[in-house]
Structure 1
Amino acid sequence: MTVRFELYSTWGCHLCEQAEQMLQQAGLSGQYQVLDIVDHAHLFEQYRVLIPVLACRHTKATLGWPFDQAQLTAWLQLQLQED
């Protein structure tokens, strides 16, 4: 599968774990990559108090926390239409 999305996260973030569970429930296993913002200075600077954040590689759109499963599903549908 092609990696289409990036989940900006960090170790020990329970909200990030919830967001990843939602991605799996949405059937996106293998289509996203988790990036620890601590390992990327520009991501850390931009998202340190906003994680978890989901980004679409193609459209460059982001979905920031808080979001629920319905909001995630709607956002994903928009991104996949643009892809």
Structure 2
Amino acid sequence: MAKWILYHTDGCHLCEQAQDLITPLLGDDRLQLVDIMSDEELITEYQTSIPVLKSDQGPQLFWPFTAQDVCQFLRKQNKSKQIVWI
């Protein structure tokens, strides 16, 4: 089962919107939230692009995205498991 990371930071309204889109599709057990402020390398890499959804296999989905975009990204990254967008 694939794991997913949402790179974000506290107080980011776009990050909150992204989490609200992603959580119903993945659930809390498959989504790991990583605050970029916890690591200098993450700040350098993502400071101007958060929120970013990343597969544990490497591919990333950058904001802006819709629930449909997330669903398509999840399907592409996890072809063996059908994810239903509601």
TM-score, normalization by structure 2: 0.86
- Which residue of the partner structure matches residue 51 of structure 1? 50
Whether the 8 Å CA contact 1:10–1:16 is kept in 2: the answer is: yes
Q: Which runs of 5+ in 1 are unaligned?
A: none
Q: Could you tell me which residue of structure 1 aligns to residue 7 of structure 2? A: 8
Give the whole-Å Cα distance in 1 for the aligned partners of 2:72 and 2:52: 15
| Residue 79 (1) aligns with residue 80 (2) | no
Percent identity over the alignment is: 32
Which residues of structure 2 form unaligned runs of 5+?
A: 82-86
Q: CA-atom RMSD, angstroms?
A: 1.8
Moved over 3 A (4+): none
Count residues with an aligned counterpart. Answer: 81
Report the secondary structure of 1:54's partner residue: strand
C-alpha distance in 1, partners of 2:80/2:36?
Answer: 26
| TM-score for the superposition, normalised by structure 1 | 0.89
Matched AA of 1:61: P
